[in-house]
Structure 1
C-alpha cells in the first residue's frame, strides 16, 4: 500500500507537469520557431538526463553499449516527433493540438497489428471509431459535415506526431536499455542533428525572457522530470492501470491553463471532441484493466 501511495504521488506529479506543457509550447512558439524551441528544450533535457545518469552511476554502461539502437531511436524521438508536434502547435490552437495528440494510444493499437502481429479486438475497433469521431469534430471545428478544414496541415501534423510516437514505442518494445540511459542516449544523438538543422536553418536568436524560459521549462519538465516521475510511478505500482488512468486528468487541466494563461477561449467543438477521444481511450483501458490486474495480483 505504501508503494502504491508513492506511485500515485509520482504519477500525479508527472500528470500535473504534462498538464502545463501545452501552455508552455504556445508561450514559447509565440516568438520562437519550432526548430529553435526543439533545440533549446532538447539541450536542456539532455543535460538533465546526463546528470541523472552520472548520479546513478550508469555513465560507463551508457557509453559502452546501446548506440546502434540510439541512432535510429534518437532520430525518431526527440528529432522527428517533437519537430512535427511543435509544428502542429505552431499552426493550431493549443487546445486542438493537445486533444489530437491524445490519440497516440489508439494509433499504437492500430500499428501493433502489422508490426507486432497483434489482433484488434472488437472493443479496440469501437474505441478507435469513438476517438477518431472526436478527431473529426475537432478538425472540422464542429462543422462535421464540412470537409473544408480550418488548417488541414496543422491537423495532419498533429496526427502525424501520434503515428511517430506510437511507432517509436512499438519499435522499442524489445529495447533492453535502462529507460533513463535510453533517453539520454537518444538525446545524445538528437541534439547534434538538431544543432546542424538549426545552424543551416533559422539559427538561434534571442526572443525575450518569456519564450526562453518557456523553452527551458519544456526541456526540464515535458522531456525530463515528468519522464523520471512517470518511470518511478510505473516501477512502484502494483497494477499499471492504477497510474495509467491518471493521464485522463491532464486534458481538462491543460484546457483550463490555456484559457487562463494564454487566453485561448475554450471551443465547444474541442470539448466535444476531447470527450469522444477520452471516451475511446477509456474503452480501450477498460478492456485491458482486468488482464493487468490478473498479471500483478
Structure 2
C-alpha cells in the first residue's frame, strides 16, 4: 500500500509542472529574451513539421514554477559556489552583476582586425565629412562597458589577455582620422563616481547626466547641467541583470533622483524660454 502511495505522489509531482500551467502563468519579460509561443499545427497552409520541437520549447519556457526553480538554482550557485545561474550574467563581487556578452571586450580577445578597425574609422570619416558639408555638427560617442569601468569587481578567474580591445583600437583610429568624439570612459573613470547600476547593464541617472553634459558641452549647446543638481539616492530601480538571474526576486537597485525631474528648453520667436517639469 505504501508503495502505491509513493508511486501516486511521484506521478503527481511529475505532472505538477504541466497541470500547473493551467493556473500559473509564467511572466518571462524580466528575463530579457524571446520566448516560444504555443505553436500552430499549420504554417502557411502547410503542416508544421517543427510542431513538436516548438511545443517542447514552449513547455520549457512556460511550465509552472519554472522561475521559482530558476531562482532557487541561482541562489545556491551565487551564495555557495559564487557562480551565475544564467550564462548571460556574470556574478561579481560587492553585489555587482555584469553582462557576459561584454566579456570578450573586457578580456581583450576576439577584437576586430586592423582592416576592420580601419574601415570603421574610414566610414566615420566619410559620415563626418558629409554632415559637415551640410553645415551640421557630427559627433560619434562610444558608451564604455560596465566591466571596463569597474574591473576590480569582476571575478578573478577572468584574466585579461590584452589591454587592447575594440574600444581602445577604435578610439586610436578615430584620433588618426580626426573624428569628433568624446571619451566617456576616461571621463567616467576620472570622476570616480558610480555611473552604472550594480544590478543592471545600463547607466544610472548620474551616468546619463554626465554623458549628456559632456556631449552637449562638446557641441556647444545650451543645456541645464544636472551633474551639479541636488539629488537624493533611492533604492527603487529594477535591474535587468538581476531580473535575468532572479526572475522572481524583488531586490531593488539604488539610483540618483534629481530634484528637478525634467528640463525643457524651447525656442519661440528667437526668444529662449526655460521651464521645469516636476
After TM superposition, the score normalised by the length of structure 1 is: 0.26
Kindly name which structure, 1 or 2, has the bigger radius of gyration based on alpha carbons: 2
Higher RCO, 1 vs 2 (CA within 8 Å, ≥6 residues apart): 1
TM superposition score normalised by structure 2? 0.27
Q: Which has the higher strand share?
A: 2
